[in-house]
Amino acid sequence: MVVGGYRDLFVAIAGSAATLTGLLFVALSVTPRRGPALGPAVILQVRTSAALLTFNNALAVSLFSLVPGTNAGIPSLVLGVIGITFSAAAARSIRASGSPARQQLFQFELIGLLLLIFFTELVAGIIVIANPHSGDAVQFIGYALITSLIVGISRAWELIGDRDTGLAASIAVLLGHRPRSEAAIADIRPGGTGDDQPAGPGDSS
């Protein structure tokens, strides 16, 4: 069980994660699918699952850590293993999906960030199990859970807003390049250019 200032932190994280999870379900239920900008079905499934997993990760670790007599390292270790397993399975699914390389690269960036979060939880959880009084390890668990919430918010907004909200994509837009979602559509179209070709003499108007 976490005590002192960490208890207040975990209470805040649990409340935020529960609220965000509920909002995610509501948003997905009322938001229509927007066509090919979100990419193949496996890409959409990975994004949705990643958002839900990051919220549930923060919620589960926080709530279990608040149970009297529970070592905070145990839920952190368990969710760390689950998260790493999910990330590995998602990477395999994306690799086998046959989606454009540009889309795959973006999803692998997401998976890399998830692996960092869950690996931090896993290692910190092991340390806390071995030494329940390790404040630094509990602090790193808190950092991982906060980052998990932030990543979940970013993925949820991407699903609802139908756009890439990452730093690299934002810089690309400022430099005048197309967002990745638009580039992905171009990859899907015949010829891979995405530019509308002028109608030839034999084309109907």
**Residues 99-108 pLDDT 10s:** 777 777 777 8
**pTM for the model:** 0.69
Name the domain count of the chain: 1
Q: What is the pLDDT of residue 189?
A: 44
Is residue 201 a part of any domain in this protein? no
| pLDDT of 185 | 42
Residue 115 inside a domain? The answer is: yes
Give me the amino acid identity at 84: I
Establish if 186 belongs to a structural domain.
Answer: no
Burial 162-180 (b: 16+ CB within 10 A, else e): bbbebeebeebeeeeeebb
Q: Round the average pLDDT of the chain to a whole number and report it.
A: 76
- What does the alpha-carbon distance between residue 104 and residue 162 come to, in Å, rounded to a whole number? 17
Is residue 43 assigned to a domain?
yes
Residue 143: what pLDDT?
Answer: 94
What single letter denotes the amino acid at residue 89? A
CA 131 distance to own-chain centroid: 30
Query: Would 76 be classed as within a structural domain?
Result: yes
What distance in Å separates the CA atoms of residue 179 and residue 164, rounded to the nearest whole number? 7
| Count of helix runs (H) and strand runs (E) in the chain | 7, 0
Q: Would you say residue 143 lies in a domain?
A: yes
Residues of the chain with pLDDT under 50: 36-38, 165, 167, 170, 173, 179-202, 204-205
| Angle, CA of 58, 52 and 178, to the nearest 5° | 115
| CA-wise closest residue to 44 among 103, 127, 131 | 103
Give the structural domain span for 86: 5-164
Q: What is the pLDDT of residue 111?
A: 87
- Rounded Cα distance between 131 and 142, Å, is 16
